[in-house]
Chains A and B, each alone.
Chain A
Amino acid sequence: MSRSDRSRSTDDTAALSLDVTIDGTSAEVSIRGEVDLGTVPLLDVVLTAVIEHGCTRVAVEASRVEFLDCAGLRPIAAAANLLRRDGGELVVRSPARPVVRVLELTGATAIVPIEEPASTVDEVSEAMPGGLTQMAAVPASTDMLEAVLDALVVLAAATISAADGASLTLRRHGQLATAASTGETFAALDQQQYDAGEGPCVDAAIEGRPFQVESAEDERRWPAFMGSVVDRGVHSILSTPLLTAMGPVGALNLYARRAGAFEAGGHDVATAFADQAATIVGYSGAQRSAEQVTERLRSALEARETIAQAQGILMGRQEVSAEQAYVILRRRSQDTDVPLIDQARQLIADVADPNGG
């Protein structure tokens, strides 16, 4: 059975958007916009997913690339090497000038050949009876993490043919929430589980094990939640945990309208997507901590500056050394229980406005 759903983002303000067409073992990843350090993770996720799906011939359609530097080349070259190792290939199709320039400058055309075909989509559909089997368009977003997770659920649902929809549950600040979903129905089913405090996605996200509903009508677990599942026309659920070194951080949830949809398979691919999501979430979590550390260091440098100024004032007034000035500040702090930095600020403020309160 062939299926072709197509949705494409028409947001012109987005930096990067990708269209993915998968037909058997061939895939075309069409890039529009700018590929730089900020948007590269999206391209990386998509190429990895396409390869893990089993595609051996991947074309990166690059006629609408506005910007691509060496950072953007990296995931393309990595994908090319990976494919070639297993007897496949990656080509760059109809590259725009920025892409040609980078490929030539870096000599990457040796591993990433350029292809200028006469026709693309028609050739592919003629090769496979029944036309295109899957298409997924990745919506662009100004928030990189959001964009990457959106891409991930769309690809997971497209890649796992048994699934009609997918969603990503993340645990943030001790609470479960849906970070991305391919449709309102699935986000709503997630929410019902959070509200009920039970369900396969809740259990997977907390216990770090996969949970599967083979037939919603016959499922005895999670009675508070199951009723709404059948009401929404869903009969199979597969929730795969996102596992990190610090335990489970969420779950990738697959939903299907027919019962027994995930019996025959999909678990390995679901695990592959869940692992990828966990890596992405872990990476972005580390980024946020790095921001916090940076902020702390910045304010520490300000504090040191302030204390040095206060020392300078005391050195001038009382003709003492820097170290002696420091002891003065420290003793004031000791005697009043007011932190040293606040003593320093007060001293500076008094100098600036001696008649102040």
Chain B
Amino acid sequence: MVERADHLDRARLEAGLSHTELWMRYFELGGMSSALEVEGYLYGALHPTAHDHDLIAHALNERFVELGGDHPVAYRSS
């Protein structure tokens, strides 16, 4: 499967989260990367570790659940 480099960012837009808000939720979940690094991950400019990727995915999925939806963002370490 070919993933678009910015699939995380597209999910962010669908979830209606700003970059700052997404970073804050990632941080609340225990994330250790800076806001700038997370932005890099979102655009596909930087490659996150599997852990970081899944933290961001989980922050997004928790947001989708808040909105009454499912978990559309896939995890790397399922």
A313 to chain B, nearest CB (A): 15
Residue contact B51 to A334, C-beta cutoff 8 Å: no
Query: Are B58 and A308 neighbours in the complex by a CB distance under 8 Å?
Result: no
Cβ-defined contact, A327 with B77, below 8 A: yes
B62 touches A339 (CB 8 A): yes
Q: Are B24 and A300 in contact (CB under 8 A)?
A: yes
Shortest Cβ gap from B38 to chain A (Å) = 14
- Contact, CB under 8 Å: A304 / B54: no
In the bound complex, CA of A303 to CA of B77 (Å):
23
Query: B2-10, B27-35, B40-48: which lies at the A interface?
Result: B27-35
Asked whether, in the complex, the Cβ of B65 is within 8 Å of the Cβ of A340, the reply is no
Q: Considering the complex, give the chain A residue whose CB is closest to the CB of B50.
A: A323
* Residue A326 interfacial (CB < 8 Å): yes
Q: Are B51 and A323 in contact (CB under 8 A)?
A: yes
- Chain A CB within 10 A, most for which of B30, B58, B77: B30
CB atoms of B54 and A334 under 8 A apart: no
CB <8 Å contact, B71 and A308 = no
**Of A300, A323, A330, which contacts B58 at CB under 8 A?**
A330
In the bound assembly, the distance between CA atoms of A330 and B58 in angstroms comes to 8
Main secondary structure of the interface of B (DSSP, over half): helix
Contact partner of A326 among B27, B51, B61, B62, CB < 8 A? B51
Given contacts A327-B77, A330-B54, contact A341 B61 (CB under 8 A): no
- Contact check, A341 vs B29: say whether CB atoms are below 8 A apart: yes
Residues of chain A contacted by B24 (CB below 8 angstroms): 296, 300
Residue A337 is within 8 A (CB to CB) of chain B in the complex: yes
Query: Number of contacting residues on A, CB 8 A?
Result: 17
Question: In B42-76, which residues have CB < 8 Å from any A CB?
Answer: 51, 54, 58, 61-62, 65, 71, 75
- Please indicate the chain A residues that have their CB under 8 angstroms from the CB of B62 in the complex: 333, 339-340
Min Cβ gap A85→B in Å is 42
Q: Is the CB of B71 within 8 A of A300?
A: no
C-alpha gap A299/B25 in the complex (Å): 11
Residues from chain A with a CB closer than 8 A to the CB of B77 are 327
Q: Which residues of B are found within 8 Å of A31, using beta-carbon distances?
A: none
Interface residues of A in 160-210 (CB under 8 A from B): none
CA distance A307 to B30 in the complex (A): 7
A304 is contacted by which of B28, B58, B61, B71 (Cβ under 8 Å)? B28
Q: Which of A283-324 contact B (CB under 8 A)?
A: 296, 299-300, 303-304, 307-308, 323
Residues of chain A within 8 A of B75, CB atoms compared: 330
Q: Nearest Cβ distance between residue B26 and chain A, in whole angstroms?
A: 10
Q: How far is the CA of A307 from the CA of B29 in the complex (A)?
A: 7
Selected from B27, B29, B51, B71, the residue in CB contact (under 8 A) with A340 is B29
> B65 to A337, Cβ gap below 8 A?
yes
B51 touches A300 (CB 8 A): no
CB distance from A189 to the nearest CB of B (A): 41
Report if A333-B51 is in contact (Cβ < 8 Å); known contacts: A300-B27, A326-B30. no
What 15 new A-B contacts, CB under 8 Å, besides A304-B28, A334-B58?
Answer: A296-B24, A304-B27, A304-B29, A304-B30, A326-B51, A327-B54, A333-B58, A334-B61, A334-B71, A337-B65, A339-B62, A340-B29, A340-B58, A340-B62, A341-B29
A: which residues have CB within 8 A of B? 296, 299-300, 303-304, 307-308, 323, 326-327, 330, 333-334, 337, 339-341
Which 9 A-B pairs rank lowest in CB-CB distance, beginning with the nearest? A300-B28, A303-B28, A307-B30, A304-B30, A337-B65, A300-B27, A339-B62, A330-B58, A323-B51
Some 16 contacts from A to B, beta carbons below 8 A apart, are A296-B24, A300-B24, A300-B27, A300-B28, A303-B28, A307-B30, A323-B51, A326-B30, A330-B58, A330-B75, A334-B58, A334-B61, A339-B65, A340-B62, A341-B28, A341-B29
